[in-house]
Structure 1
Amino acid sequence: MRKQLSWKVGGQQGEGIESTGEIFSTTLNRMGYHLYSYRHFSSRIKGGHTNNNVRISVDEVRSVADNIHILVAFDQQTIDVNSHELVGGGIILADSKFNPTVNEDLDVKLVSIPFTEIAKEEGSQLMKNMVAIGASAKLMNLELAPFEEMIHKIFIRKGAEIVASNNRALALGAEKMAEEMQNIEDDFEMEAAPEEERLFLIGNDAISFGAVNAGVRFMPAYPITPASEIMEYMIKHLPKLGGTVIQTEDEIAAVTMTIGSNYAGARSFTASAGPGLSLMMESIGLSGMTETPLVIVNTMRGGPSTGLPTKQEQSDLNQMIYGTHGDIPKIVMAPSDVEDAFYTTVDAFNLAEYYQVPVILLSDLQMSLGKQSARPFDLDKIDINRGKTVLEDIEETDGYYERYNDSEDGISNRPIPGLKGGIHHVTGVEHNQTGTPSETHENRQMMMDKRMRKLHNFSMDEPFKVRGEKESDLLIISFLSVNGVVEEGASESGGNITRIQMKQLHPFPIETIKPYLDGAKKILVVEQNYGAQLYNIVKMNYYGHDRLKSYTKYDGTPFKPHEIKSHIESIMEVKEVL
């Protein structure tokens, strides 16, 4: 019996590959298994190879595996492209429709099953995915009842006969697999899953749910991969709470509407990816100049330009920190994993309102779209902090309200428009304490100092997550979806290795992280971009350049554990004991 294995399904985009993986993995999650998935798909609506890689484990997993054990192939291209990933003795479950073949040099078993033929006999070739799921379940010695429950949940709205047809296809797939089992030597049976309730969701859903619980009631946005699911989630759920979603004509309209609604007192946000953020840069400066709270989610993908819309990369970090013209206070932050994305999203809204600054919440394609298991969210941990937002009438004076008064901490009281006594100017040009335009050098100096003073010595409650001690042979720094694979690669390497998962990326929390940097014999920054952007940020803030090393990947695919492990061992000069 196995504690974990990896299962992959592949075929042409548009023929149900995603739904096959979704039904299979969601059922396993309900059975109690920990899951981590990665979707490979093309930037087109239909056609082109696509696959869904699902790692299944009785213990927590936070990265894709090095290899796969079971490959479900709906076409020959799936075998040609993915069969080299199979472990020795791995299984290919292929649709006999295309007369599958496999390289004889590979130590794998090819099992041909008439997925399409069985599905047609049951009424529709669309049900070939159920035949494949039934065969996979039998190979892993899983009960069919949980899959039947999932089929009922999904298809009952289409009628009892559709449910029955899909259940028959599922059972026939299992029967066909049973006939082949006597020819399979390796055991693919999974250990029983722990009886624990877990969520199974993509990072975009966690971010969306966090936004709802943070009090968001308005979202203007323009669709873009890999951020669109956030808008889709909000379209489905915000109206139930009296909220509204508007699909704008472009990203410029989206961000300016977000600024306007936040100015009016309604918590709102927008979400996009690199190309959309490029269009938003001037408006981010407007948020900084007018001291209006703003939250933007940037789900990073391969760039530049259109780049790799459906592939993994982390190359927007410099843009998010330095992209706006002029100097403004700004916070750039990132969750450590999908579960943390929920809580960090709430933090983003609180920080934006407390400091009255733009906050960029970073994600990357793998975190945004890779579905994985997570503990249920603890809603009791949610705390709404609106800072110096004024919601009640103010005692009226003869002049305008000093909305931008030169306070000691740089943060001024922010009256919601319409309050008595709160009238003031709002403009994107330099202004005085009442918001009235002013270009005097004395005023400019004062207002710049006032705005930038907000984030002096700023630190989140948890600027990073750390595993290990301050004194280490090797300190590894990473962010977003790279965190999980670094954790696994480091644990397999052994030795005194400390791992830091960055959450606060700007302002860089040098004072908090410095003891770990000082205590490390060597420092490795792992990230997915060409320019080693996080590495250079660490280098800008820390003097120990001789101990700093960079490891990057930018081919559009996630890191795998063996890549991290191998690189760690090359740095530490640790030879694997055979």
Structure 2
Amino acid sequence: MISQLSWKIGGQQGEGLESTDRIFSTALNRLGYYLYGYRHFSSRIKGGHTNNKIRISKKPIRSISDDLDILVAFDQETIDLNAHELCDGGVIVADAKFSPKVPEGIKARLFAVPFTGIAEELGTSLMKNMVATGASAALLDLPIDIIKEVIKEEFGRKGTAIVDKNIEAVSRGAEFIKDETGGPLPELQIEPADGQRRLFMIGNDAIGLGALVAGCRFMPAYPITPASEVMEYLIKRLPKYNGTVIQTEDEIAAITMAIGANYGGVRSLTASAGPGLSLMMEGIGLAGMTETPVVIVDTQRGGPSTGLPTKQEQSDLNAVIYGTHGEIPKIVLAPSTIEECFYDTVEAFNLAEIYQCPVIVVTDLQLSLGKQTAENLDFENIEINRGKIVSEIDPREDGKLFKRYEITEDGISPRAIPGTKNGIYHVTGVEHDEEGRPSEAADNRQKMMDKRLRKMENIQVTNPILVDAPHETPDLLIVGMGSTGGTIDEARSRLDKDGISSNHVTVRLMHPFPTEEIKPYIEKAKKVVVVENNATGQLASLIKLNVGYAEKIANHLKYDGNPFLPSDIHETCKELK
């Protein structure tokens, strides 16, 4: 038996691949397997090649695999595009309808299964995806009862007849494969999992759940890939907690509505991707100037402009840090796991109110949309900190307004929610005095700028970096961010076998940069390799700017729209060492 396996399904967008993937992977999750998924899809509603790849293991995994064991194909294009990933002895399960052929040089077993034919016998070709699900389950010798249970949940709202037809389609697909193979294939049998139930979700859902738990009750947003799922998650759930989601006319409206809600005391966030973030920049500046807390989620994708809207990239780093005109206090968090997406979102709301500034949570497409196993979340220890909100304000004898922007030692002023007795003050986007009244006086300007920026001097963030440093003076320090963490760790295990020692740092606080935390690890390493999905080495540039040691820093960049594979990092690090 094997300890892990990779499965991929491909075809034309709109053929039901998502349902196959969802039901198959959900069943595996319930059996206790760890899963890590990656979606390759086109930026259109229907048509164009798409595929979903799932890595299945009895042990925790945090990256997609280099190779492939099973390829399920709805068309010949899927075989032509993906068969090169198959390991020797891998299996192709393809719809017999298109007379599938194995490309020359590929050593794989082909099983032509009448996905469409069986589905049409049952009444509709749409059920070919369920036939494929059954065939996949049979190859792995999975209990069909688990698949049936998931189908009942997936299609139950459509009635018993639909459920029964889909279950029959699964059973027919499984029977066909069993007849063809004569029984389970030994090389595809995974060791039994522990049966423990774990979360199985995408990063965007974890962000939405984090926002809900943090007390967010309003989300204005405009749909955009790969951020829309945050909005879709909260659309279903916020109304149950007296909250709401509004689909705005554009991202400018979204950010200003979020600022308005936070000004009124309601925790609010908005979510977007690079193009939407660009439109929000003036609004983010307004939040900085008025010292209004607001949380923004940026799910990075391929840019610039429309770019590659459904592909992986990490190229918004400069934008989230430097995009606003002028200078404002701002915090940028970069979670690297599903669990961190949840906890960092909760922390983002606390930080926004503690420091009264914008907080940007920056993810990437793989982390946002790649469905994966996550450990159960700890709801008991969630804390809410609303900062310096004052509810009782003494009246001013001089008749002046509340000093909302009072100059304080830590740069954080007392905050009154509108309606608080004696808490009236002026609000404007122009420079202002302590009461919020417009002021262009030179001395006031300098004092107010200094006050706002003082907030950045003592920011306390949970785990600004994550460190795995078993070596005192390693050959390599590999630095990454976002979804690259698990892939780097897998590459490091291969480097160990090559006799190359390595440490690993994941940067989670992008701004203000955790210079003192990361500096010792850079100093001790013989060479530093910075792994990032962009063309200009934005994270490496941040390290050079804030820490130095440019002479020992090397870039490993990938910007073709695909996430890193363990082999990518392993081979590059071997060369750079």
Q: TM-score range by the shorter chain?
A: over 0.9
Corresponding residue number in structure 2 for 1:561: 566
CA deviations on 1:264-294 (whole Å, 9 max, x unpaired) are: 1000010000000000111111111100001
Tell me, in whole angstroms, the C-alpha distance in 2 between the residues paired with 1:153 and 1:276: 35
Letter in 1 for 2:439: S
CA deviations on 1:4-23 (whole Å, 9 max, x unpaired) are: 01000011100101111111
Tell me, in whole angstroms, the C-alpha distance in 1 between the residues paired with 2:99 and 2:186: 24
Tell me, in whole angstroms, the C-alpha distance in 2 between the residues paired with 1:266 and 1:530: 39
Quote the offset at 1:125 in angstroms: 1.4
Tell me, in whole angstroms, the C-alpha distance in 1 between the residues paired with 2:244 and 2:559: 38
Letter in 2 for 1:541: N
Matched, 1:473 2:475: yes
Tell me, in whole angstroms, the C-alpha distance in 2 between the residues paired with 1:476 and 1:558: 16
Tell me, in whole angstroms, the C-alpha distance in 2 between the residues paired with 1:158 and 1:221: 30
8 Å contact kept, 1:137–1:143: yes
Aligned 1:365-384 pairs, distance under 5 A? 365-384=365-384
Matched, 1:523 2:525: no
Quote the offset at 1:183 in angstroms: 9.7
SS of 2:187's partner is: coil
8 Å contact kept, 1:226–1:273: yes
What TM-score comes out, normalization by structure 2 length? 0.97
Corresponding residue number in structure 1 for 2:48: 48
Corresponding residue number in structure 1 for 2:343: 343
Corresponding residue number in structure 2 for 1:166: 166
8 Å contact kept, 1:288–1:358: yes
Going from structure 1 to structure 2, the CA distance change for 1:102 and 1:184 (only over 3 Å counts) comes to: farther
Counterpart among 508, 514, 533 of residue 503 in structure 1: 508
SS of 1:381's partner is: coil
Tell me, in whole angstroms, the C-alpha distance in 2 between the residues paired with 1:159 and 1:394: 63
Letter in 2 for 1:129: N
8 Å contact kept, 2:222–2:272: yes
Corresponding residue number in structure 2 for 1:412: 413
Unaligned runs of 5+ in 2: none
Corresponding residue number in structure 2 for 1:492: 494
CA deviations on 1:276-320 (whole Å, 9 max, x unpaired) are: 000011111111110000110000000000000000000000011
Quote the offset at 1:395 in angstroms: 3.6
Aligned 1:145-294 pairs, distance under 5 A? 145-182=145-182, 187-294=187-294
Tell me, in whole angstroms, the C-alpha distance in 1 between the residues paired with 2:243 and 2:55: 37
8 Å contact kept, 1:396–1:420: no
Quote the offset at 1:157 in angstroms: 1.9
8 Å contact kept, 2:216–2:269: yes
CA deviations on 1:69-111 (whole Å, 9 max, x unpaired) are: 1000011111111111111111100000111111132111111
Quote the offset at 1:434 in angstroms: 0.6
8 Å contact kept, 1:262–1:292: yes
SS of 1:265's partner is: coil
What TM-score comes out, normalization by structure 1 length? 0.97
SS of 1:380's partner is: coil
SS of 2:576's partner is: helix
CA deviations on 1:218-239 (whole Å, 9 max, x unpaired) are: 0100000000011111111000
Corresponding residue number in structure 2 for 1:575: none
Corresponding residue number in structure 1 for 2:63: 63
What stretches of structure 1 move > 3 A for 4+ residues in a row? 182-186, 391-397
Quote the offset at 1:394 in angstroms: 4.2
Corresponding residue number in structure 1 for 2:485: 483
Quote the offset at 1:349 in angstroms: 0.5
Going from structure 1 to structure 2, the CA distance change for 1:184 and 1:107 (only over 3 Å counts) comes to: farther
8 Å contact kept, 1:485–1:559: yes
Deviates more, 1:192-201 or 1:308-317: 192-201
Going from structure 1 to structure 2, the CA distance change for 1:456 and 1:166 (only over 3 Å counts) comes to: same
Matched, 1:12 2:12: yes
Deviates more, 1:472-481 or 1:5-14: 472-481
Corresponding residue number in structure 2 for 1:308: 308
SS of 2:325's partner is: coil
Across the aligned residues of Structure 1 and Structure 2, the Cα RMSD in angstroms comes to: 1.3
8 Å contact kept, 2:495–2:501: no
Letter in 2 for 1:550: N
Counterpart among 513, 523, 542 of residue 547 in structure 2: 542
Percent of paired sites with the same residue: 58
Quote the offset at 1:155 in angstroms: 1.7
Letter in 2 for 1:30: R
Unaligned runs of 5+ in 1: 573-578
SS of 1:389's partner is: coil
Quote the offset at 1:496 in angstroms: 2.6
CA deviations on 1:136-160 (whole Å, 9 max, x unpaired) are: 1111111111001111111222222
Q: How many residues align?
A: 572
Letter in 1 for 2:221: A
Tell me, in whole angstroms, the C-alpha distance in 1 between the residues paired with 2:548 and 2:96: 62
Corresponding residue number in structure 1 for 2:27: 27
Tell me, in whole angstroms, the C-alpha distance in 2 between the residues paired with 1:287 and 1:105: 59
8 Å contact kept, 2:69–2:90: yes
Quote the offset at 1:457 in angstroms: 4.0
Letter in 1 for 2:95: D
Tell me, in whole angstroms, the C-alpha distance in 1 between the residues paired with 2:257 and 2:334: 24
SS of 2:9's partner is: strand
